[in-house]
Chain A
Amino acid sequence: MTLIRTPNIGQTDAFYQALIDAQRDMSEEQANMFSTKLVLILANHIGDNAVLNEAIALAKSNPVM
């Protein structure tokens, strides 16, 4: 399996809202911790090291605007 790089989330706007709502009332540190835990939870769900490495490389190389 390879990393999916085309749109794949069923309801994109609903997902994004859920993500933003979840950390709306958090402090900076709480929000950072939330994001970190989310990464770990999702990484376990994916499970495949090759896909995870691809995702890490993509996040790292994606240019800073």
Chain B
Amino acid sequence: MNPVVQKTYTYPQFDYVQSEEQRTKTLKCHPVVIIGAGPIGLTAALDCAQRGIAVVLIDDNNTVSIGSRAVCYAKRPLEIWDRLGVAKPMVDKGVSWQVGKVFMRDDLVYSFDLQPEPAHKMPAMINLQQYYLEEYLVKACQEHALVDLRWKHKLLDLQQNKNKADAPVTLSLETPDGIFKVEADWVIACDGANSDTRKLVGAGFSGQFFQDRFLIADVVMKADFPTERWFWFDPPFHRGQSVLLHKQSENVWRIDFQLGWDVDPELEKQPERVIPRIQAMLGPEAQFELEWVSVYQFACRRVDQFRYGRVLFAGDAAHQVSPFGARGANTGVQDIDNIAWKLKLVLDGIAPASLMDSYHDERAFAADDNLLNSTRSTDFITPKNQASLRYRNAVLELAKTESFARPLVNSGRLSTPTPYLHSSLNTPDDATDAFVGKMFPGTNCADAPVRYEGANTWLLEVLNLLAVKQSNPAATFILLVFGDAPPNEQLNQLTSLLPAGLATPVLQLASGSLQDSEGRLQERYDGKAGTVYLLRPDQHVAARWRAFDALKIARAVKRCIGVFETSGANLGKKENAA
């Protein structure tokens, strides 16, 4: 393929290199093979590598995403990328925004702010063309000693030994040098909505298709619109349909036109059709150039099981959502956040392979939440009959003057993390321990400004710093302690109770090395003196108590790695079922 050139971007061409194992015809078994070097596969490779797993990442192409596809990246995925050391160029290059406006015909009906809470390191949302994002991820992968990124490797076949659960997966790969086989203890399939891996394992992928089409135009122009998300219902320049305007990097603007079902997608892509639409929207004076145009139809679908033996599905290969709400790539990155530490514990023999079932439980739950939100937005944007259209328009008309109607306006509920409230890995709060606020067992850790070892920083950075100092970050459960340091006898008891290989370093607030510089930590965690939070390696709350109790902490750590004590009177799952 020749290099593709757009007005503001030239696609890099990465070199295909024949692998040593293909050249020498040696069958090698890798701990993890990742299929697909899109944003999710690249993130998977980085996260596994940071956890200490050597990975092979394959892609059938040798460049980044052609055309701008994903645009909006939300705070939680940015926090994950920050943990992996790649968020900075994204935030620097991207356009940060947090205000969205909704218009009906000529009038503003509603405006929202995604981050009403101040003092978070990462912005609420950035907009960035997918190719820049992938470029930064590729660079980080290429620089990491544990990532073996192989271009022009296409997956042809995948076999699992059904009679032997711990047998490796055998993959047939095709390169310009022919076909060869590799083995993998685990496979992470990040090969997108049309996943070949999914077809090869025979996984189901069902849901709802929407009878509507959207024209996506990326336009280069110097315009003085504010960096906000603008969404129109039934605008004068595109009657009866919706339009979305969003700023990206390098003066590229994303415009989405709803087209309806009865249009010819090929015809609508032609510049002579696209340009007048945009001119009508921007006015006759506006000067712009087309960067990228495509027409798509969307679907909301989910794979039936996120885990098929030793194959794990992530990103669009596992779930496909409508684009309203920026829930595609954002959810996929959180899939990876969930997979990597668990895989490392399983590969190290610290946790049983059944821990990977919790990947399905937690992320299928999140995917269903995303699909529900995405479907609801779609029903509002694309009403299915006259009565639904009337309700939609009634909401919009009322919203102009009546505040009660504004929360009903749904132009996309933007991606926020789904807490794993029902996960079997959580230890529920003791009935006698009362907590207020937004944190629960199963929520991701809220960030907060702190001082650590004399410098201003952020809680999530400190958690990461502390984890990577340990010999095995994936096996590190940090204890965030408010108030006095736990007594040594309790700490010694905890160490003696923990399964081999696990560490629970203490991060102590107040008299310790951590200071709550603005009081946000105490506020966000309801951190009364004596409170202990047990934090998972993926920076989620596993459990919390109002006092330090080594026995309870050890039990919660075991539960969180999928070790349920079946003998003994009152431990693990049995306690929960009682």
Contacts and interface: CB of A to CB of B under 8 A. Distances in A.
Interface of A: 32-33, 36-37, 40-41, 44
A36 B404 contact: no
Q: Is the interface of A mostly helix, strand, loop or mixed?
A: helix
A33 B394 contact: yes
Nearest to B393: A33
Contacts of A41: 398, 402, 404
Contacts, number: 22
B488 to A, nearest CB: 51
A37 B404 CA distance: 12
Given A36-B391, A37-B394, A41-B398, 19 more contacts: A32-B390, A33-B390, A33-B393, A33-B394, A33-B397, A36-B390, A36-B394, A37-B397, A37-B398, A40-B391, A40-B394, A40-B395, A40-B398, A40-B405, A40-B408, A41-B402, A41-B404, A44-B404, A44-B405
A37 B398 CA distance: 7
Contacts of A44: 404-405
Interface string B367-407: 00000000000000000000000110111011000101100
22 contacts: A32-B390, A33-B390, A33-B393, A33-B394, A33-B397, A36-B390, A36-B391, A36-B394, A37-B394, A37-B397, A37-B398, A40-B391, A40-B394, A40-B395, A40-B398, A40-B405, A40-B408, A41-B398, A41-B402, A41-B404, A44-B404, A44-B405
A36 B395 CA distance: 9
B578 to A, nearest CB: 30
Nearest to A38: B394
A43 to B, nearest CB: 9
A41 B390 CA distance: 14
Contacts of B398: 37, 40-41
Contacts of B404: 41, 44
A48 to B, nearest CB: 14
Interface of B: 390-391, 393-395, 397-398, 402, 404-405, 408
A40 B394 CA distance: 8
Chain B CB within 10 Å — which of A32, A33, A36 has the most? A36
Nearest to A29: B390
B4 to A, nearest CB: 49
A57 to B, nearest CB: 17
User: Which has the most chain A C-beta neighbours within 10 Å: B393, B394, B398?
Assistant: B394
Nearest to B395: A40
Contacts of A40: 391, 394-395, 398, 405, 408
Nearest to A47: B404
A36 B394 CA distance: 7
Contacts of B397: 33, 37
Contacts of A36: 390-391, 394
Ordered nearest first, which 5 A-B pairs have the shortest CB separation?
A36-B394, A44-B404, A37-B394, A36-B390, A36-B391
Nearest to A36: B394
A42 B404 CA distance: 11
A33 B390 CA distance: 7
A24 B391 CA distance: 21
Contacts of B395: 40
A41 B397 CA distance: 12
Nearest to A44: B404
Contacts of B390: 32-33, 36
A35 B82 CA distance: 51
Nearest to B399: A40
A56 B390 CA distance: 17
A32 B397 CA distance: 14
A32 B405 CA distance: 18
Contacts of A33: 390, 393-394, 397
Nearest to B397: A37
Nearest to B391: A36
A41 B408 CA distance: 12
B402 to A, nearest CB: 8
A33 B393 CA distance: 9
A50 to B, nearest CB: 18
A44 B395 CA distance: 12
A34 to B, nearest CB: 9
A15 B256 CA distance: 46
A62 to B, nearest CB: 17
B336 to A, nearest CB: 35
A59 B404 CA distance: 23
A23 to B, nearest CB: 14
A44 B394 CA distance: 13
A33 B394 CA distance: 7
A44 B405 CA distance: 8
B66 to A, nearest CB: 44
Contacts of A37: 394, 397-398
A35 to B, nearest CB: 9
B110 to A, nearest CB: 15
A47 to B, nearest CB: 10
A33 B405 CA distance: 15
A44 B397 CA distance: 15
Nearest to A34: B394
B428 to A, nearest CB: 25
A37 B397 CA distance: 9
A45 B124 CA distance: 32
A55 to B, nearest CB: 15
A32 B388 CA distance: 12
A44 B532 CA distance: 41
A37 B393 CA distance: 9
B387 to A, nearest CB: 8
Nearest to A45: B404
A40 B420 CA distance: 33
A44 B391 CA distance: 14
Contacts of A32: 390
Nearest to B390: A36
